[in-house]
């Protein structure tokens, strides 16, 4: 005899914490991509997907791996050739001898962040996070049962900077970690030596983990990025999450890595085991080949030229203000002088000028009034988009 199915089967309480950011934030992007599919001439600046093609040597290495039949299970922490390439790459970047025991391959930075949080956060713990925060940060913290405590960046002289006083004000006796996103999305801020030393000293003082989301580490423009991981005092308390999505135009490949103290790496590997049990070998072979390239220099130069052109064009408008990003693939434009909210401006821009930008209120209350613009289109396309943005602002304010 069968039983009648209940309509209200239980759902785990944690599922409510897994929602990444505001769904409204992507409504403009979704509308823009639909319009583009329908044949409209839309310039899409809402997403950070590099427009560069994945380099041939990466693609060829993956294809050769497939032809060799390398389509079976792999080690959960990554294939040896990729881990060796990461060790060489990170040792040169950070200036110390990174061990193979420090390295875990993951399926993109998002997978890495989620796995790290599962191993350092207990239900009820507080996790500090830089504010503005990437929209998935509440989900990776909440998915581990933690409470995200925002630490606002200090907005001075047209830039956002790390503010240790704000961090001190936010720390509690339940704080277990600081999720630190630099170079920063969406503001484009990058750390200098003093700021890196300050945040490491802060975490050591309070005996908490420092988790560094460093996916834009290669894409700094005006000065080299200083990673907290390069400091000797950080090596036993800091965890870095990296990705090849931006630096090597591999966003769809889903490959990255975690750099963690050897004493903790095994816990992260256990979490990765539970979810994925190793990534595809042919993708990792391609990634290993990519780390032998210097493509990041070429991409950095291209993004810097685009940044400079965009800043020049937007700055020429008396009705808009743009923050000059020090790094990354985005820029923030302050649209408040037009009298519109960031969401109103984004929708009007899409409907009237066929350009999509992201309302930045989804990141933080600090970015209310701003729209985020992606640099991931060719220079001539970005310049045309900038002209349309300026034209809309002029029309709004002259009406």
Non-local (6+) Cβ contacts of 314 within 8 A are 320, 321, 322, 333, 386, 389, 390
Average model confidence (pLDDT) across the chain: 92
Say what the pLDDT of residue 6 is.
58
3-state helix, strand, coil in the chain (%, to 5): 45, 15, 40
Q: What is the mean pLDDT of residues 115-124?
A: 96
Name the least confident of 31-35, 100-104, 221-225.
Answer: 221-225
- The residue with tokens 């990444």 is 20
Q: What is the mean pLDDT of residues 334-355?
A: 96
Q: Tell me: pLDDT of 4 over 80.
A: no
Q: Which of the four pLDDT bands, split at 50, 70 and 90, describes residue 50?
A: confident
Non-local (6+) Cβ contacts of 89 within 8 A are 291
Say what the pLDDT of residue 2 is.
55
Say what the pLDDT of residue 226 is.
92
Q: What is the mean pLDDT of residues 128-150?
A: 93
Say what the pLDDT of residue 126 is.
98
Say what the pLDDT of residue 225 is.
87
CA neighbor of 369 nearest in space, from 186, 211, 154: 186
Q: Which domains does the chain have, with CATH numbers?
A: 13-53+295-398 (3.90.1150.10), 57-290 (3.40.640.10)
- Strand, helix or coil for residue 73: coil
Name the least confident of 13-22, 70-79, 261-270, 350-359.
Answer: 13-22
Say what the pLDDT of residue 160 is.
87
Strands 209-213 and 238-243: parallel
Nearest-angstrom CA–CA distance, 250 and 52: 9
Under 8 Å between Cβ of 199 and 343: no
Nearest-angstrom CA–CA distance, 293 and 336: 42
Non-local (6+) Cβ contacts of 120 within 8 A are 144, 176, 177, 209, 211, 239, 264
pTM for this structure?
0.90
Q: What is the mean pLDDT of residues 170-175?
A: 96
74-112: per-residue pLDDT in tens?
Answer: 988 999 999 999 999 999 999 999 999 999 999 999 999
Torsion of CA 288, 293, 297, 298, to 10 degrees: -110
Name the least confident of 8-22, 118-132, 237-251.
Answer: 8-22
């Amino acid at each position: 005899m069968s039983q009648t199915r209940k309509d209200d089967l239980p759902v785990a309480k944690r599922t409510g914490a897994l929602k990444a950011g505001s769904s409204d934030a992507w409504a403009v992007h979704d509308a823009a991509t639909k319009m583009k599919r329908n044949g409209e001439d839309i310039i899409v600046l809402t997403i950070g997907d590099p427009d560069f093609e994945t380099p041939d040597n990466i693609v060829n290495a993956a294809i050769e791996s497939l032809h060799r039949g390398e389509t079976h299970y792999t080690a959960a922490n990554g294939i040896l050739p990729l881990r060796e390439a990461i060790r060489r790459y990170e040792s040169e970047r950070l200036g110390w001898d990174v061990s193979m025991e420090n390295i875990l391959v993951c399926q993109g930075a998002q997978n890495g962040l989620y796995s790290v949080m599962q191993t350092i956060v207990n239900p009820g713990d507080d996790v500090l996070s830089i504010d503005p925060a990437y929209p998935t940060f509440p989900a990776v913290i909440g998915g581990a049962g933690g409470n995200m405590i925002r630490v606002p960046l200090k907005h001075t002289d047209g830039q956002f900077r790390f503010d240790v006083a704000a961090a001190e004000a936010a720390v509690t006796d339940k704080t277990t970690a600081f999720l630190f996103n630099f170079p920063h999305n969406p503001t484009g801020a990058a750390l200098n030596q003093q700021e890196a030393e300050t945040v490491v000293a802060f975490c050591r003082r309070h005996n908490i983990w420092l988790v560094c989301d460093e996916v834009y580490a290669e894409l700094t423009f005006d000065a080299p990025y200083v990673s907290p991981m390069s400091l000797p005092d950080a090596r036993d308390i800091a965890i870095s999450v990296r990705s090849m999505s931006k630096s090597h135009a591999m966003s769809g490949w889903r490959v990255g890595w975690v750099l963690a103290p050897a004493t903790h790496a095994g816990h992260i590997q256990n979490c990765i085991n539970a979810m994925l049990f190793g990534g595809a070998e042919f993708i990792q072979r391609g990634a290993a080949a990519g780390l032998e390239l210097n493509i990041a220099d070429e991409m950095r130069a291209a993004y810097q030229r685009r940044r400079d052109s965009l800043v020049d064009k937007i700055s020429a408008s008396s009705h808009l203000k743009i923050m000059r990003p020090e790094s990354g693939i985005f820029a923030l434009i302050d649209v408040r002088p037009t009298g519109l909210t960031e969401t109103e401006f984004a929708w009007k821009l899409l409907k009237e000028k066929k350009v999509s930008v992201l309302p930045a209120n989804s990141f933080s209350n600090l970015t209310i009034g701003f729209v985020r613009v992606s640099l991931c289109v060719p220079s001539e396309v970005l310049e045309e988009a900038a002209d349309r943005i300026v034209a809309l602002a002029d029309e709004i304010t002259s009406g």
